[in-house]
Amino acid sequence: MRNLIFLIIGFYFACNQPSENTPITPYVMVLGIAQDAGYPQMNCKKYCCKQAWGNPDLQRTTSCLAILDPISKEQWIIDATPNIKEQLQLLKQKTGTEKLDGILLTHAHIGHYTGLMHFGREVIGSNKLPVFAMPKMKTFLEDNGPWSQLVKLENINIKTLKSDSTLSLNERIKIKPFLVPHRDEFSETVGYEITINNKSLIFIPDIDKWERWKINITELIKKVDYAFLDATFYENGELERDMSEIPHPFVEESMKLFSKLSNADQQKVHFIHFNHTNPLLIEESTAQKEVLKKGFKIAKEGQIISF
Ligand SMILES: [Zn+2]
Ligand SMILES: [Zn+2]
Ligand SMILES: [Zn+2]
């Protein structure tokens, strides 16, 4: 009997300790890794999506990072994806709550902002949820339905961002948006730099070819601690249509460009935002092995990044 009581007390304490891999300072969690359309992609009957249609464990949600502060219990996400409801459940499994303190948007392509629809009357009906957006993105939301209704009913409260200008989310977390070249039909496109404990992470889910950017990405990687970078396509010829109209850096090109980096710098690179055709979505694929062998990393849903 005495042993049983000790066992129960021991079990109680074991269950109430923070899990070993929960950092005690702010951290970043990966909530999604796929391109805008998610994985598998609607209507795809080809090899790339075949297995994933039949196996939910192989399905992946659209690229999204969460920034979490275990001290103040605040949490933000970068981009509101079409998979936001599943992604907030993933967040809740980690932190015990899906309540958000704000959303930071990168641009107005479907995978990056349409999740905002869940904050309107039809679903949550949130009250002045802070949404951080660049000026054109802000005007796009204000001037076009159904997003304009979120603004009018004050479900969301848009806070205007300025590129290259640092903003404090709280006393421990700094954020800096920076402009990147991309097909900017409706808004500008930004990447973000997150700084916690003097360490930094850059997140660039969408960008045109690296050479179209005024910033030298290789030099930038040297200066940061983590780099989550656009890996929409693995190589040329992956799509049956003209790929020059959607000029993302191919993973093969990025790896070649980053080959001159030291091994320590290469390990900062986490590829993310995979199109359904990208073999990096397929576990144990030759492409995955190649990327890992070269010293780069592949972002994973649920992955925790400590600072
Ligand atoms: Zn995208
Ligand atoms: Zn496919
Ligand atoms: Zn885009």
pLDDT digits (tens, 9 = 90+) for 14-33: 444 445 566 789 999 999 99
Residue that the structure tokens 């730099």 belong to: 193
Centre of ligand 1 to C-alpha 290, Å, is: 24
Centre of ligand 2 to C-alpha 283, Å, is: 15
Evaluated on CA atoms 105, 100, 33, 224, the torsion sign reads positive
Rounded CA-CA distance 201/180 in Å is 16
- State yes or no: cis peptide before 40, omega within 30 of 0: yes
Centre of ligand 1 to C-alpha 48, Å, is: 19
Q: Of 266, 256, 296, 298, whose CA–CA distance to 279 is shortest?
A: 298
> Quick one: pLDDT at residue 246?
85
Instruction: From residue 54, give the alpha-carbon distance in Å to each of 50, 82, 90, 153, 305.
Output: 7, 21, 21, 41, 31
> Quick one: pLDDT at residue 158?
98
How is residue 36 written in tokens?
């805008």
Task: Answer for the pair 176, 204: CB distance below 8 angstroms, yes or no.
Answer: no
> Quick one: pLDDT at residue 240?
85
Note the ligand closest to the C-alpha atom of 230. Answer: 1
How is residue 279 written in tokens?
């073999």
> Quick one: pLDDT at residue 3?
60
Ligand 1 ion: nearby residues, β-carbon < 5 Å: 36, 109, 111, 206
Please write the tens of the pLDDT for every residue from 261-299.
Answer: 999 999 999 999 999 999 999 999 999 999 999 999 999
Q: Of 96, 278, 119, 106, whose CA–CA distance to 207 is shortest?
A: 106
Note the ligand closest to the C-alpha atom of 60. Answer: 2
Centre of ligand 1 to C-alpha 111, Å, is: 6
Collect the ranges in the chain with pLDDT lower than 50: 13-18
Q: Of 205, 199, 214, 178, whose CA–CA distance to 268 is shortest?
A: 199
Rounded CA-CA distance 251/234 in Å is 5
> Quick one: pLDDT at residue 297?
98
Instruction: From residue 31, give the alpha-carbon distance in Å to each of 84, 91, 240, 249.
Output: 9, 7, 29, 22
Centre of ligand 2 to C-alpha 207, Å, is: 21
Angle among Cα 282, 29, 162 to the nearest 5 degrees reads 110
Query: Could you tell me where the beta strands, DSSP code E, fall in the chain?
Result: 27-32, 64-69, 74-78, 102-104, 129-133, 156-160, 167-170, 173-179, 190-196, 199-204, 226-230, 269-272, 297-298, 304-305
Rounded CA-CA distance 229/271 in Å is 5
> Quick one: pLDDT at residue 22?
66
Give Cβ neighbours of residue 282 (< 8 Å, ≥ 6 apart). 48, 51, 288
Centre of ligand 1 to C-alpha 273, Å, is: 7
- State yes or no: cis peptide before 70, omega within 30 of 0: no
> Quick one: pLDDT at residue 16?
45
DSSP secondary structure letter of residue 238: S
N residues, the chain:
307
> Quick one: pLDDT at residue 243?
86
Note the ligand closest to the C-alpha atom of 47. Answer: 2
> Quick one: pLDDT at residue 258?
98
Instruction: From residue 239, give the alpha-carbon distance in Å to each of 192, 252, 255, 277.
Output: 28, 15, 20, 7
